[in-house]
A and B are shown apart, each in its own frame.
Chain A
């Protein structure tokens, strides 16, 4: 209670601060630029997570490969990209042109090959995507690996005994089951990524995602806190939607793991609504409530 009271006091002080203009907050909440920024944030999140998940699955499978070269390459990647700050990595891609103005592929010792300006190859958006995506792949690799090793070895053996190849066993048998373990932390990573895209602000306005948009507007009208409120509101909305989506994805991959899936909140709500006037339940029939195999 005391904690609640103190918290209420603090929040109250801030929201009633005399120079805080709620009008500005309301004006910008659905402003075109803010909405476009939110959309760009979603695009960056989707792009970086796609890179992260695809890269993570590849790295995890490589990491568990019986080939020592392949697994060492994966180990090294994870060690490097997990061991350096993501902000540094974004900076790296963003400034690569200063040391490497042209990127090309060519045949050694000849002048044959293709080359392009680094700045046209790595646009600011791609620099941010590379920084976030390559970093995320390292984290996702560990999440996917945890999922894979959580599946008992008998599954692999049964699949191998049927003549399935190593990658087939992974794709058809192990990964679909590992999804149950992989999804919750991946949801976590996605929510984290949604917020981390705000690091794109270091692109100096070249990547106008939500936070950068807020900063740009605030630098013109000086309503810094107001725009932080606007921006935060949208981050909250988006993370809430993601949390909701995660629930349904988890349910899909839980098929076969329980005899009957539990009802969704919506289903429970509907059931509660329509059985509201039903008579009180009679004593349950013992025979039908026992687990099937004990009957």
Chain B
């Protein structure tokens, strides 16, 4: 992989008050790469994901997406925080899927999907609707376009959320434990939708506890603990022959 990285993190630090959540994260994600982040809760993996689209501000280090710093502008040696407008433009290029779906409950599935294309990208409503229907069909919900989120199962809601993120035609997709809030029998549909996305060449960072998905779909697997990346490699290597003690003891518990 010789192309410029889609995501590049250098010594990223983040603290909440006195608690240091990220203690120097360095990583690169190449275009079309699928990176899976695993680790115990509280290890900072979700926080890191949220830093990538500036939902959380980082305290030190550098984080860039597609060659541009996230949330800041570099002038000389100093970083200056970008105005809201610039941050929003950058965010619109990065799709995010949440653990609890966070669909807009007052809008139908289709309205959820076309909201940002119409009001952020200022696409015409008919163009957005046409693409929205196609996206919902792609995640297997062609017959649910007019349903409200509460009329859908968790798995269906999460697939609407994926379609909603895709509607902005993002360069990068972030998944924050997308299947953790789902009933076991609904997990498969969501993972299938993500697998198709990966096959189509989407760059993805997936925080997950689904080791099977990580093994099959992931190009890289990183194990995080206590705010640092303990171990990284191909999913097969990390899962079958972990080098670090901490990784071994974690995998022994979850596999």
A residues sitting closer than 8 Å to B (CB atoms) are 154-155, 157-166, 168, 172-173, 176-177, 253, 255-259, 292-293
B118 to chain A, nearest CB (A): 10
Name the one of A162, A172, A258, A293 contacting B92, with C-beta atoms under 8 angstroms.
Answer: A162
Given contacts A259-B150, A293-B153, contact A161 B105 (CB under 8 A): no
Does B124 interact with chain A (Cβ within 8 Å)?
A: no
Would you call B106 and A255 a contact (CB within 8 A)? yes
Name the one of B90, B95, B148, B161 contacting A256, with C-beta atoms under 8 angstroms.
Answer: B148
Name the one of A157, A177, A257, A259 contacting B55, with C-beta atoms under 8 angstroms.
Answer: A157
19 A-B pairs with C-beta separation under 8 A: A154-B100, A158-B103, A160-B91, A161-B91, A161-B165, A162-B91, A162-B92, A163-B91, A163-B120, A164-B116, A164-B119, A164-B120, A165-B84, A168-B120, A172-B119, A176-B106, A256-B105, A256-B149, A257-B106
Most buried by B among A154, A166, A258: A154
Q: Which residue of A lies closest to B88 (CB)?
A: A163
Q: Identify the 4 closest CB pairs spanning chains A and B, nearest first.
A: A163-B92, A158-B102, A162-B116, A161-B96
A-B contact count (CB 8 A): 78
Does B129 interact with chain A (Cβ within 8 Å)?
A: no
Would you call B55 and A160 a contact (CB within 8 A)? yes
Residue numbers in B under 8 Å from A173 (CB-CB)? 104
Name the one of A161, A168, A257 contacting B94, with C-beta atoms under 8 angstroms.
Answer: A161
Would you call A255 and B91 a contact (CB within 8 A)? no
Residue numbers in B under 8 Å from A177 (CB-CB)? 104-106
Q: Which residue of A lies closest to B95 (CB)?
A: A161
Would you call A172 and B115 a contact (CB within 8 A)? yes
Does B205 interact with chain A (Cβ within 8 Å)?
A: no
Would you call B102 and A168 a contact (CB within 8 A)? no
In whole angstroms, what is the CA distance A255 to B149 when docked?
11
Most buried by A among B53, B116, B161: B116
Does B107 interact with chain A (Cβ within 8 Å)?
A: yes
Q: Which residue of B lies closest to A168 (CB)?
A: B119
Does B18 interact with chain A (Cβ within 8 Å)?
A: no
Does B73 interact with chain A (Cβ within 8 Å)?
A: no
Residue numbers in B under 8 Å from A256 (CB-CB)? 105-108, 148-150
Q: Return the CB mask of B132-167 against A: 1 if under 8 Å, else 0.
A: 000000000000000011110100000001001100
Residue numbers in A under 8 Å from B151 (CB-CB)? 259, 292
Would you call B150 and A155 a contact (CB within 8 A)? no
Q: Which residue of B lies closest to A164 (CB)?
A: B120
A285 to chain B, nearest CB (A): 21
Most buried by B among A158, A164, A258, A259: A158
Q: Which residue of A lies closest to B112 (CB)?
A: A158
In whole angstroms, what is the CA distance A162 to B115 when docked?
9
Residue numbers in A under 8 Å from B103 (CB-CB)? 158
In whole angstroms, what is the CA distance A177 to B107 when docked?
10
